Amino acid sequence: MSVVKAWVSAARLRTLPLSVSGILVGSGYAVYYNVFDGVIFSLAVLTTLLFQILSNFANDYGDGIKGTDNEDRIGPKRAFQTGAISKKSFKTGIIITSLLSLTSAIALIIISFGWDNAFLSITFLLLGILAIWAAIKYTVGNSAYGYRGLGDVFVFIFFGLVSVCGSYALYSKTIDIIILMAGAGIGLLSTAVLNLNNMRDYNSDKTVGKNTLVVHLGQKASKFYHGILIVFGLLFILGFFVASDVSKWVYLSTFTFFILSKHLSFVFKNKNPKDLDQELKKVALSTFGLSLIFFIVEIFSQ
């Protein structure tokens, strides 16, 4: 594997669509209220993608250092695991991506709030710094929260509430109760992706001491937890559509509900964790799909 291919692999491109789902929903809501701005949107997407890539680099490095990514792991081989990228290079890559993420976040904050709204600027700067910390500390270090069953909490907060509500606030400078429903919905569906990933890796994670929430709950209870995440995630999204009174065309996105219903049936019947790997893209792309449809519908409804 070439160096370029190794870094592309470490960036895990298939995770990127899910990461911008919250931005699409928050931005679509901004379109509805006529406060959308193309420059803010572009910078918000760029910043989010950089945060996600940073998280992927750190996750590859952290799990590689701890020996979590070994021959027993079911998922794709990682760059650090295969030796395609050295420890030193990974550290450098994480530092560079962190700086790029912070730079993009600062540019986004300045363009969104200017120099007059100090409170919001400082608040979002702190959120940006916290996002960088969360991306790295998921698997890196002795106190990595991903190894203590807290990954679900951080995914819900950053992929859901911060992504959806924060992106809307970048345009409107406000947050309302209705957008919180959308944030909760996207957050729960994003958490379901992580849970599915951890269900797939249950055996290898338990062996090496990576105590994810799935390891704490056990395989059977994790399936019910997964069902709760999916069902309530969809209910929050549906509630958001109804309460916000947005274009009725957004209900086209509910076709993803049927995909996810079929997915749940598969998960509950599944007995081989390896088969769950193919389900990851279904949940991730369904979440991205309904977010994209919402955004496009609102753009063309204006």
How far is the C-alpha of 202 from the C-alpha of 217, rounded, in Å?
A: 10
pLDDT 10s digits, 29-74: 999 999 999 999 999 999 999 999 999 988 888 777 766 655 655 5
In percent, the amount of the chain with pLDDT more than 70 equals 94
Q: What is the mean pLDDT of the chain?
A: 90
* Tokens (6 digits) for 3: 């160096």
pLDDT 10s digits, 140-190: 877 889 888 899 999 999 999 999 999 999 999 988 899 999 999 999 999
pLDDT 10s digits, 99-135: 999 999 999 999 999 878 888 999 999 999 999 999 9
User: In which residue are the tokens 């065309």 written?
Assistant: 249
Cα dihedral: 190, 256, 292, 184 (round 10): -40
Q: Which residues of the chain form beta strands (DSSP E)?
A: none
Residue 76: predicted pLDDT:
62
With 80 as the cut, is the pLDDT of residue 199 above it? Answer: yes
Burial of residue 47 (number of CB atoms within 10 Å: 0-12, 13-18, 19+): buried
With 70 as the cut, is the pLDDT of residue 82 above it? Answer: no
- Per-residue pLDDT, averaged over 205-232, amounts to 93
* Tokens (6 digits) for 125: 């700067």
